[in-house]
């Protein structure tokens, strides 16, 4: 090294022989430098935004996958019951799938024709029902203030209503086709998930350290058992509500609309907390529009039945599957409905039960030991 006149030290010229023809490499960039930290932070934010955008774009597909997984867990008890009797899992899944297809086909073929006729009759009689509904003093007073029934009557009398209805029917047909395609996709995914459920569980459990794997497996199996029990219990409660409603509507003189209303009550009853109330309100409104005594009978019947279902039937059916306090149920259903609509409300209770189980068995136990 040579010292120049100003006191600085000049490096000797690099030679091609020692591999430094373009200069000696400098020191690596410090991982503690502000530039490096800022670059990694910005890169992390961009990756998070990209993942969030991808999830948002694929939200409809992810919803179908979530529904299929939920149904697979719900049907798994039936498959396991068949395997305990000596049937191989593949054949058990096939048998359950055939039973599900047969049940859906029977509902469509047997109920579809009657349901269509009754719905058409209900639509044809809608103007008369609205006129009868306005005969009640309280409803007439509310209509004079808010003009709800009057606006419905004006739409029914509008000459362009048929064209608008035809366009709506066309749009509804496209929507029904879209729903049918999604239903087929969900069914196929459910069958695949149901057949591969043991492998999926094994793969998920293998990601856990061996020292904690046994406890994680026990907790995971208990969560799946609760979800399966919830699906079975909710289906039984909904079928009971629909059957009782059908018998009641036939006995009070609403046989003309009994089947569609009972089916609606059963479907809405699958939604925890609010579904049964909405179904009862709709049936009571139809009863009031038909006849004041029938409407009063509907209100009294559903007040009694909703109380019986909420305090006797539902707790007894769900006692062995999920154990969620009432206030947690309300909060979970409200949050699930706000986040994901009907699907969120349906999945809110089993998710809340799983979270409570993990909190009770993991966090609370850890606090007691520490």
Q: Following DSSP, what letter does each residue of 80-106 receive, concatenated?
A: HHHHHTT--HHHHHHHHHHHHHHHHHH
Axis crossing angle, helix 112-124 with helix 126-133, rounded to the nearest 10:
50
- What the block records as the tokens of 309 is 């279902």
For the chain, give every domain's residue range.
59-207
Listed residue (64, 346, 71) closest to 194, CA to CA: 71
317 φ/ψ angles, rounded to the nearest 5 degrees = -70, -40
Listed residue (306, 305, 268, 302) closest to 287, CA to CA: 302
* pLDDT for the residue 244: 92
End-to-end CA distance of the chain: 64
Say if CB 365 and CB 218 are below 8 A apart: no
Say if CB 204 and CB 86 are below 8 A apart: no
Read off the pTM: 0.66
* pLDDT for the residue 170: 46
Say if CB 283 and CB 261 are below 8 A apart: yes
User: Residues 229-267: pLDDT tens digits?
Assistant: 888 888 888 889 999 999 999 998 887 778 878 888 888
* pLDDT for the residue 303: 92
Ranges of the chain with pLDDT below 50:
2, 9, 15-17, 162, 166, 169-170
How many residues are given for the chain? 370
- Its sign, for the CA torsion 139, 140, 146, 151, is positive
Distance CA 277, CA 330 (A): 14
The residue with tokens 């509907």 is: 298
Cα angle at 328 between 322 and 332, to 5 degrees?
90
Residue 102 neighbours by CB distance under 10 Å:
10
């Amino acid at each position: 090294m040579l010292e120049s006149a100003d006191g600085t030290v000049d490096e000797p010229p690099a030679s091609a022989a020692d591999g430094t023809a373009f200069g000696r490499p400098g020191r690596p960039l410090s991982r503690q430098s502000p530039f490096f930290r800022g670059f990694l932070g910005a890169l992390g934010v961009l990756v998070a935004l990209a993942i969030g955008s991808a999830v948002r774009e694929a939200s409809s597909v992810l919803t179908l996958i979530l529904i299929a997984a939920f149904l697979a867990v719900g049907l798994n008890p039936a498959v396991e019951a068949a395997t305990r009797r000596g049937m191989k899992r593949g054949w058990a899944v096939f048998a359950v799938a055939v039973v599900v297809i047969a049940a859906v086909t029977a509902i469509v073929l047997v109920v579809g024709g009657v349901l269509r006729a009754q719905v058409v009759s209900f639509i044809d009689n809608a103007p008369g029902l609205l006129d009868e509904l306005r005969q009640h003093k309280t409803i007439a007073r509310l209509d004079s203030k808010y003009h709800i029934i009057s606006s419905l009557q004006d739409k029914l009398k509008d000459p362009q209503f048929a064209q608008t209805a035809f366009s709506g029917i066309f749009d509804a047909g496209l929507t029904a086709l879209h729903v049918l395609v999604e239903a087929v996709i969900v069914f196929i995914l459910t069958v695949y998930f149901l057949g591969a459920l043991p492998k999926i569980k094994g793969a998920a459990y293998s990601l856990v350290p061996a020292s904690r794997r046994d406890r994680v497996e026990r907790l995971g199996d208990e969560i799946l058992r609760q979800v399966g029990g919830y699906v079975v219990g909710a289906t039984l409660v909904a079928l009971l509500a629909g059957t009782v409603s059908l018998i009641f509507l036939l006995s009070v003189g609403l046989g003309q609309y009994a089947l569609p209303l009972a089916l609606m009550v059963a479907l809405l009853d699958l939604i925890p907390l609010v579904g049964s109330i909405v179904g009862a309100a709709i049936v009571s409104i139809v009863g009031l529009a038909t006849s004041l005594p029938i409407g009063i009978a509907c209100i009294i019947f559903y007040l009694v039945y909703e109380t019986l279902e909420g305090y006797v039937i539902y707790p007894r059916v769900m006692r062995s599957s999920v154990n969620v306090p009432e206030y947690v149920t309300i909060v979970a259903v409200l949050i699930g409905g706000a986040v994901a609509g009907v699907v969120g409300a349906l999945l809110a209770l089993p998710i809340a039960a799983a979270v409570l189980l993990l909190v009770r068995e993991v966090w609370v136990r850890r606090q007691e030991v520490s």
